[in-house]
Amino acid sequence: MKTAITEMFGIEHPIIQGGMHYVGFAEMAAAVSNAGGLGIITGLTQGTPEKLAKEIARCKDMTDKPFGVNLTILPTLTPPDYPGLVKAVIDGGVKVVETAGRNPVELLPPLKDAGIKVIHKCTSVRHSLKAQDIGCDAVSVDGFECGGHPGEDDIPNFILLPRAADELDIPFVSSGGMADGRSLVASLAMGAQGMNMGTRFIATKEAPVHQNVKDAIVAASELDTRLVMRPLRNTERVLANAAVDRLLEKEKELGDAITIQDVLPEVAGVYPSIMMEGDMDKGAWSCGMVAGLIKDVPTCKELIDGIMEEAEAILARMNGMVAVREAAAA
């Protein structure tokens, strides 16, 4: 299947694995890319330019297909060495960067000068238009269903994607609630040129996370995520657990007086224990509502091949419906 996204990134299938903290290692990115999608290494998980350079080199040893690097721009007192991370990306020969968080305008000049394509994650049409205006090549439009940070507008993809299609001139992919061939066909119908999946890729054999994490996603329903940090306007969709219950109780008790310091025990530095060691109640971790659609742990190739087969079958069935209608009208 060819779309503007497959042509832009040089991939076989219009499926992207979004950057995910302590998930987007070389093993994950290479498996997705080898299966015909676009795998993404998570830059901030590596932390330093030196470690990112090594991870890029490891990924190149595992695949000769295109892959990208996620650079998330966060508000912090001690920001990462973004210029150094960008240099590692350029020196490593990476051709795609997924940016997220704050406006990536300061990162764009060196990336564009190096011929790197930039896709920015956006949770609203206005942010998508801003990304287009500053020179991003594509955007990932994240609906309210998504794991992680869905923004503060609470707009689901059945509204957000057609709105993006009405406004944008650059191609975009859907993100949030994407799991299978139905997701892909629906995304294409609403104007997207592909789809981005996060939670779905965690539940794959190659995902370098503890089996407890994969089991938790498979066991979860669409009712098992929670929205935390809403009073701080830093909303995050996470899987329900004991730590999340504590966090929500703090929000209820403290109300508008809550500060980031109050929630640090549940959100700061918890990912290694969860993703690497399988301590599922250690803290809050991002998970999308799409968990309700995830019932197995396939390989990345099995997953992507299955998505494409299902999508093509749906499109063939729909084309058949049109043909029958046209024949009846003739």
Q: What is the CATH number of the domain that holds 13?
A: 3.20.20.70
3-class state of residue 284 by DSSP? coil
Looking at every residue in the chain, the average pLDDT score rounds to 97
pLDDT exceeds 80 at position 75: no
What was the pLDDT predicted at 325? 81
Q: Are residues 23 and 133 in the same domain?
A: yes
pTM: 0.96
What was the pLDDT predicted at 326? 84
Look at residue 294 and tell me if it is in a domain.
no
Look at residue 130 and tell me if it is in a domain.
yes
Q: How distant, in Å, are the alpha carbons of 35, 168, 170 from that of 165? A: 28, 6, 9
Render pLDDT for 149-166 as a digit per residue (tens, 0 to 9).
Answer: 999 999 999 999 999 999
Distance CA 10, CA 36 (A): 10
Q: Are residues 253 and 278 in the same domain?
A: yes
pLDDT exceeds 80 at position 17: yes
Give the bridge partners for 172, in sequence order: 139
What was the pLDDT predicted at 74? 85
What was the pLDDT predicted at 330? 78
pLDDT exceeds 80 at position 87: yes
Q: Are residues 125 and 266 in the same domain?
A: no
Q: Are residues 69 and 139 in the same domain?
A: yes
Distance CA 101, CA 107 (A): 12
Q: Are residues 86 and 120 in the same domain?
A: yes
Look at residue 60 and tell me if it is in a domain.
yes
3-class state of residue 68 by DSSP? strand
- Reading the block at residue 14, the tokens are 């219009």
Distance CA 201, CA 294 (A): 10
Contact by Cβ (8 Å): 286, 274: no
pLDDT exceeds 90 at position 322: no
Contact by Cβ (8 Å): 282, 241: no
Distance CA 166, CA 147 (A): 25
Look at residue 318 and tell me if it is in a domain.
no
Distance CA 208, CA 236 (A): 22
Average pLDDT score over residue span 62-85 = 93
What was the pLDDT predicted at 94? 98
**Domain final residue pick, 177, 208, 239:** 208
Q: Are residues 146 and 220 in the same domain?
A: no
Measured in whole angstroms, how far is the alpha carbon of residue 198 from the centre of its chain? 4
Render pLDDT for 259-314 as a digit per residue (tens, 0 to 9).
Answer: 999 999 999 999 999 999 999 999 999 999 999 999 999 999 999 999 999 999 99
Look at residue 316 and tell me if it is in a domain.
no
pLDDT exceeds 90 at position 145: yes
Tally of residues, the chain: 330
Q: Give one DSSP letter per residue of 16-56, joined into a string.
A: EE---TTT-SHHHHHHHHHTTSBEEEEHHHH-SHHHHHHHH
Look at residue 230 and tell me if it is in a domain.
yes
**Domain final residue pick, 189, 208, 227:** 208
Region class of 274: left (phi > 0), else alpha (psi between -120 and 50), else beta: alpha
Q: Which residue has the higher pLDDT, 279 or 74?
A: 279
**Domain final residue pick, 187, 208, 229:** 208
Look at residue 315 and tell me if it is in a domain.
no
Measured in whole angstroms, how far is the alpha carbon of residue 144 from the centre of its chain? 13
Confidence of residue 31 (pLDDT cuts 50, 70, 90): very high
Q: Are residues 195 and 216 in the same domain?
A: no
Task: Encode 264-275: b = buried (16+ Cβ within 10 Å), e = exposed.
Answer: eebbeebbebbb
Look at residue 43 and tell me if it is in a domain.
yes
Q: Give one DSSP letter per residue of 181-236, joined into a string.
A: HHHHHHHHHTT-SSEEESHHHHTSTT--S-HHHHHHHHH--TT-EEEE-TTTT--E
Q: How distant, in Å, are the alpha carbons of 15, 122, 199, 318 from that of 301? A: 12, 27, 16, 26
Q: Are residues 119 and 9 in the same domain?
A: yes
If residue 242 lies in a helix (H) or strand (E), which one and from where to where?
Answer: helix 242-254
Q: Are residues 199 and 248 in the same domain?
A: no
Q: Are residues 41 and 184 in the same domain?
A: yes
Average pLDDT score over residue span 176-182 = 98
Q: Which residue has the higher pLDDT, 76 or 217?
A: 217
Q: How distant, in Å, are the alpha carbons of 211, 259, 260, 272, 275 from that of 241? A: 16, 21, 20, 16, 14
Q: Which domain holds residue 278?
A: 212-289
Q: Are residues 47 and 105 in the same domain?
A: yes
Q: Are residues 160 and 113 in the same domain?
A: yes
Confidence of residue 141 (pLDDT cuts 50, 70, 90): very high
Query: How many domains is the chain built from?
Result: 2
